[in-house]
């Protein structure tokens, strides 16, 4: 008889259970070529969380227009930021995940298991969840690497994780992180990265906070993303003690014809160059790690736009990536959220490692293997 739900063969009921940590980012193509980008975009843009449109109409647009022309253009853009390590988003996300795992292991040896998953592409959320379950995880903390909540990003992670968990026989207890845009440690980490950049490059006339855009109608329907972006930028500006005229917020990466969050990054930089603004530094606090949208769209494409419009200095301030204060902030959020689980995990570890411990009574009752 085929089992409907996923379990573990010859499961031992007396084994030590662990706390799982699933870090999730958006995803990336497997390679910087047209075929790989087309496959990635098909999965990404087919998600109704990303594009809220009538499915039949959107299917025709996606397959009849977008996937015919956009993959080759996007592949050329990816090629400008691809390295021997592959996609910058994947490489930086892996480094961050490894750093968080090391920090948790130092704090609580053997209590945590950490895995990285992508909502689209590889490593998949499904593989990451399976990896954690195989390590004895029965309690799971999910942290999307999005400081600001949006249904199109954080909501999509929730959909993917719960869709996967419902396939398992033992569904783990779940804590789901919905954002950290106003966490003092996150604000301090962003402000510190800006200060370090300024010590090396000098202070600009204006600091521009650039966030990924979403359609305005999402916000009108109750998505808190816009409010989270503005609140986070304001807190960083306060930490930097900036006068109101020295910092601004803009939104990038819009597609299609409908209105997205404004002001638009490209239009703002063009206007500033024409108006005589000489120096601009751009920071992107909505991106946990650097990726195509920061390294190509901001640091290359929009730099050229500003300089061509008359500006003289443009500098991109890198994302937090695997900076020490970044993984320290994430580790602390995990530790705080799972503190009540940690006592249980420690007790489980003590029981599992005790000498001459008796076999679990439940396991003996059902004749489980020794």
Per-residue confidence (pLDDT) for residue 252, from 0 to 100: 98
CATH number of 18-32+82-179+324-352: 3.40.50.1400
* Pairing outcome for strands 173-176 and 137-144: parallel
Per-residue confidence (pLDDT) for residue 362, from 0 to 100: 47
pTM: 0.92
Given this chain, do its domains 18-32+82-179+324-352 and 184-317 carry the same CATH topology? yes
- Report which of 39, 6, 5 is spatially closest to residue 122, judged by C-alpha positions: 39
Beta-bridge mates of residue 215: 260
Q: Provide long-range contacts, Cβ within 8 A and 24+ apart, for 222-231.
A: 223/149, 223/150, 223/151, 223/152, 224/148, 224/149, 224/150, 225/148, 225/149, 225/150, 225/152, 226/261, 228/147, 228/148, 228/149, 228/179, 228/181, 228/182, 229/148, 229/181, 229/261, 229/286, 231/181, 231/182
| Cα distance between residue 235 and residue 289, in whole Å | 20
| Cα distance between residue 249 and residue 137, in whole Å | 41
Per-residue confidence (pLDDT) for residue 363, from 0 to 100: 47
CATH number of 184-317: 3.40.50.1400
Q: What is the pLDDT along the chain (370 residues), one digit of tens a residue?
A: 566 888 877 777 767 789 999 999 999 999 999 999 999 999 999 999 999 999 999 999 999 999 999 999 999 999 999 999 999 999 999 999 999 999 999 999 999 999 999 999 999 999 999 999 999 999 999 999 999 999 999 999 999 999 999 999 999 999 999 999 999 999 999 999 999 999 999 999 999 999 999 999 999 999 999 999 999 999 999 999 999 999 999 999 999 899 999 999 999 999 999 999 999 999 999 999 999 999 999 999 999 999 999 999 999 999 999 999 999 999 999 999 999 998 776 666 665 555 445 545 544 544 544 4
* Domain boundary assignment for the chain: 18-32+82-179+324-352, 184-317
């Amino acid at each position: 008889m085929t089992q409907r739900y996923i379990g573990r063969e010859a499961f031992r009921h007396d084994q030590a259970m662990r706390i799982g940590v699933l870090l999730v980012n958006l995803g990336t193509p497997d390679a910087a070529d047209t075929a790989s980008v087309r496959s990635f975009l098909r999965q990404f843009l087919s998600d109704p969380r990303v594009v809220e449109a009538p499915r039949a109409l959107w299917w025709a647009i996606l397959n009849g227009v977008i996937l015919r022309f956009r993959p080759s253009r996007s592949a050329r853009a990816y090629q400008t930021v691809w390295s021997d390590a592959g996609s910058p988003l994947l490489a930086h996300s892996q480094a961050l995940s490894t750093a968080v795992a090391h920090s948790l292991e130092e704090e609580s040896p053997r209590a945590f298991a950490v895995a990285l998953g992508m909502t689209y592409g590889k490593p998949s959320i499904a593989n990451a969840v399976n990896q954690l379950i195989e390590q004895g995880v029965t309690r799971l903390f999910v942290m999307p690497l999005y400081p600001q909540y949006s249904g199109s990003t954080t909501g999509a992670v929730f959909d993917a994780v719960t869709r996967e968990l419902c396939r398992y026989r033992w569904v783990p207890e779940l804590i789901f992180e919905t954002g950290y845009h106003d966490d003092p440690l996150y604000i301090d980490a962003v402000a510190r990265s800006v200060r370090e950049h300024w010590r090396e490059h000098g202070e600009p006339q204006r600091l521009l906070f650039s966030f990924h855009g979403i359609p305005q109608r999402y916000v009108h329907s109750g998505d808190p993303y816009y409010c989270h972006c503005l609140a986070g930028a304001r807190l960083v500006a306060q930490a930097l003690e900036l006068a109101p005229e020295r910092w601004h917020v803009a939104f990038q990466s819009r597609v299609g014809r409908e209105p997205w969050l404004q002001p638009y990054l490209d239009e703002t930089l063009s206007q500033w160059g024409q108006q005589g603004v000489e120096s601009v530094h751009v920071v992107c606090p909505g991106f946990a790690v650097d990726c195509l949208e920061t390294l190509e769209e901001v640091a290359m494409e929009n730099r050229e736009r500003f300089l061509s419009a008359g500006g003289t200095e443009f500098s991109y301030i890198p994302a937090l990536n695997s900076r020490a204060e970044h993984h320290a902030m994430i580790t602390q959020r995990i530790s705080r959220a799972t503190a009540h689980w940690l006592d249980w995990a420690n007790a489980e570890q003590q029981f599992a490692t005790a000498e001459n411990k008796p076999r679990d009574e439940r396991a003996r009752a059902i004749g489980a293997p020794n």
